[in-house]
Structure 1
Amino acid sequence: MNTKDVVYIALFAALLAGLGAVPPLTLPNIGVPITAQTMGVMLAGGILGAKRGALSVVLFLVLVAVGLPLLSGGRGGMGVFAGVSAGFLFSWVIGAYIVGLIVEQNWERLNFVWAMAATIVGGIFIVYLIGIPWLAIAAQMPFLKAFTASMAFVPGDIIKAVVSAFVVIQVKKSYPLINR
């Protein structure tokens, strides 16, 4: 890892923190907020690639764990990793990695469709795959209820995936070596 990698990782951790300034919309039936920060996860993986994208999310979560109020709504500290949204937070690392992996594997032929596929698979599917079961356990609710309640996130996540895919393609056109 070189200085450029460290700077990119820190920059995208800061981007995640900045997206936390967007006020959350907490769903009353499950207590998990809708935030802009999942778009940061998609962008980190899509622009930085698997390793650096995942490391930027790890850095962000470490900063949250030590108490910085970087999550949407000014949340931070170890307690957030035991709450109902913790599974979603943990999934961000894997989600960014998967987005980055798909983008890296298709870099030469990357277009909007591939970028959308990457952001949907890593930024939505993987996040839900880990976050929903955690929600069901932590909130002590049936899995089907947790799944159904989480579907309220899908329209916003699709919009974030579209925006992220567009940005990834624009960055690739402007700076084709960033993913290397």
Structure 2
Amino acid sequence: MTTRDLVLSALFTAIIIVLGFLPPVPIPLLPVPITAQSMGVMLAGCIIGARRGALAYVLLVVLVAVGLPVLSGGRGGLAVLIGPTGGYIFGWILGAFVTGLLAEKLVREDQSATKQMTGFFLASILGGIGVVYLCGMPWLSLVAGTPFDKVLFGSLAFIPGDLVKAAIATLAARAVLVGYPLLPVRV
């Protein structure tokens, strides 16, 4: 890993923290709010790639673990990581990696804008939504003592907002790719 990789990862950690300044939107009957920080998974993966994007979230989790209030709503500390949202937070690391891996495979600079945006959108949905949900929902069910089917049903409330986040990440990633490509090419 180069100095540039470390700097880009740290920069994205800072961006993710800034996304946390947007107030979380609570969902009735669910202990997991809607936050802009989950969009950072898509942004980091699509813009700086799998390894650097995952590293950005590893750094975020370390900052949370030491107690810094860097999550939305000013939350931080080990209690947050082992609480109901912990599975989603750790899922962000794997989600950023998978999003980046897919973006690196699906998107090339020589493709048409439509193909690039389709690749970014698919990567955002599969990694930034699918993987994060696969990590977060079982954890939430276990920690909250809620049957998994109810957690699954309750998670449907997040899908429209997550699709909007995926669209925003797609547009941002495409703009960066055109202006200053940072996404590693994976063969």
Partner Cα separation in structure 1 for residue 73 and residue 56 of structure 2? 20
Is 2:183 the counterpart of 1:179?
yes
Partner Cα separation in structure 1 for residue 104 and residue 42 of structure 2? 13
Partner Cα separation in structure 2 for residue 80 and residue 96 of structure 1? 20
Question: Identity over the aligned pairs, expressed in percent?
Answer: 49
Q: State the match for 2:61 in structure 1.
A: 61
How far apart are 1:12 and its partner, in Å? 0.2
Partner Cα separation in structure 1 for residue 78 and residue 86 of structure 2? 10
| Number of aligned positions between the proteins | 179
User: Given the two structures, how large is their TM-score scaled by the length of structure 1?
Assistant: 0.96
Q: 1:144 is matched with which residue: 138, 143, 149?
A: 149
Q: Considering only aligned residues, what root-mean-square deviation do their CA atoms show, in Å?
A: 1.0
Tell me, yes or no, if the aligned pair for 1:30 and 1:139 is still in contact at 8 Å: no
Q: Could you report, residue by residue, the CA deviation over 1:38-66 in whole angstroms, capped at 9, with x for unpaired residues?
A: 11111011111000000001001101110
Q: State the match for 1:119 in structure 2.
A: 124
Is 2:145 the counterpart of 1:168?
no
Partner Cα separation in structure 1 for residue 118 and residue 104 of structure 2? 14
Partner Cα separation in structure 2 for residue 54 and residue 70 of structure 1? 17
Q: State the match for 1:131 in structure 2.
A: 136
Structure 1 segments, 4+ long, off by >6 Å, are none
How far apart are 1:85 and its partner, in Å? 0.7
Tell me, yes or no, if the aligned pair for 1:95 and 1:127 is still in contact at 8 Å: yes
Q: Could you report, residue by residue, the CA deviation over 1:101-139 in whole angstroms, capped at 9, with x for unpaired residues?
A: 011112324511111000000000111111111111111
How far apart are 1:179 and its partner, in Å? 1.6
User: Given the two structures, how large is their TM-score scaled by the length of structure 2?
Assistant: 0.93
